[in-house]
């Protein structure tokens, strides 16, 4: 939350997320406040684990051309390679899930997009409804009421400041909600991208397996034991995908945070 100082001196809004087309003044940047907290370190560690898991998947996908070449000249070795790659993908999925990653469904993604859009629109509307600060409204000093008594001026100023503070609090609350909704959406998009990459890698492994199976008469075709081991690894990989938790990401367990 953006804190308000005493009622006698309300600050100018320092929005976490400026309106579209505007940029945050340099003076509003959060200064460094010493060493990171344990929570920050934990978040950084989870983010790093997610990144390393994604790199594992990318490394598997980068070996597709080599796998397809091996399918033609050494199908038995190619099948064993599919088993090794499936094992690496399974490890990447496990690491990603342990770091807080979730296999977000289409419905959950649509809900997160809608929530983020609605929250930001509400925040923008609340910001646009902010009244002018009391000093800017011409209430200060003797400007109110053409030389009105000091007591009347003070009462008017107090009412104006209270109205401004209340509107400011509403706008700030909506802005905080919008920041959180957008952060959740960002995490969900990243999680969904990871699992999509894994699924595409699985499709490539299955393509290689089908080519190997079709060329059963090759002199170096795999035997029943080779297939048994490869099938086992593929089944465990698909199970890891099926068992990966779905649902809305949790900012507290994904390495993401909303900075005030």
Dump pLDDT digits (tens) for 95-146.
999 999 999 999 999 999 999 999 999 999 988 888 877 775 555 544 444 5
Residue 257 zone, left/alpha/beta (φ > 0; ψ -120 to 50; rest): beta
Of 168, 143, 171, 170, the C-alpha closest to 157 is: 143
Strand, helix or coil for residue 165: helix
Share of the chain above pLDDT 70, in %: 77
> What length does the chain have?
260
Helix spans in the chain (H) = 38-61, 64-73, 75-98, 106-128, 150-214, 224-243
Q: Quote the pLDDT of residue 8.
A: 39
Q: Quote the pLDDT of residue 155.
A: 80
For the four alpha carbons of 223, 225, 228 and 231, in that order, the dihedral sign comes to negative
| pLDDT beyond 90 at 222 | yes
Of 241, 242, 234, the C-alpha closest to 204 is: 234
| pLDDT beyond 50 at 23 | no
| All residues at 6 or more sequence positions from 110 whose CB lies less than 8 Å from its CB, including other chains | none
Give the pLDDT mean for 15-38: 50
């Amino acid at each position: 939350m953006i804190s308000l100082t005493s009622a006698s001196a309300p600050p100018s809004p320092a929005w976490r997320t400026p309106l579209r087309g505007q940029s945050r003044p340099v003076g509003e940047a959060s200064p460094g406040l010493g060493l990171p907290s344990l929570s920050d370190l934990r978040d950084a560690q989870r983010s790093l684990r997610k990144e390393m898991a994604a790199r594992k998947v990318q490394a598997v996908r980068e070996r597709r051309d080599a796998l397809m070449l091996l399918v033609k000249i050494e199908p038995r070795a190619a099948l064993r390679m599919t088993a090794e790659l499936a094992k690496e993908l399974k490890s990447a999925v496990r690491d990603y899930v342990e770091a807080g990653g979730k296999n977000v469904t289409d419905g959950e993604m649509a809900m997160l997009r809608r929530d983020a859009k609605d929250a930001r629109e509400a925040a923008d509307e609340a910001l646009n409804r902010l009244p002018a600060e009391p000093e800017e409204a011409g209430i200060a000093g003797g400007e109110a009421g053409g030389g009105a008594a000091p007591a009347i001026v003070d009462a008017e100023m107090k009412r104006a400041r209270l109205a401004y503070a209340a509107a400011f609090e509403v706008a700030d609350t909506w802005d905080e909600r919008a920041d959180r909704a957008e952060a959740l959406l960002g995490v969900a998009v990243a999680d969904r991208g990871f699992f999509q990459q894994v699924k595409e890698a699985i499709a490539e492994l299955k393509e290689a397996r089908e080519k190997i199976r079709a060329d059963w008469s090759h002199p170096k075709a795999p035997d029943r034991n080779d297939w048994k081991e490869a099938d086992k690894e593929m089944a465990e990989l698909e199970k890891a995908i099926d068992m990966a938790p779905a649902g809305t990401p949790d900012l507290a367990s994904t390495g993401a945070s909303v900075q005030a």
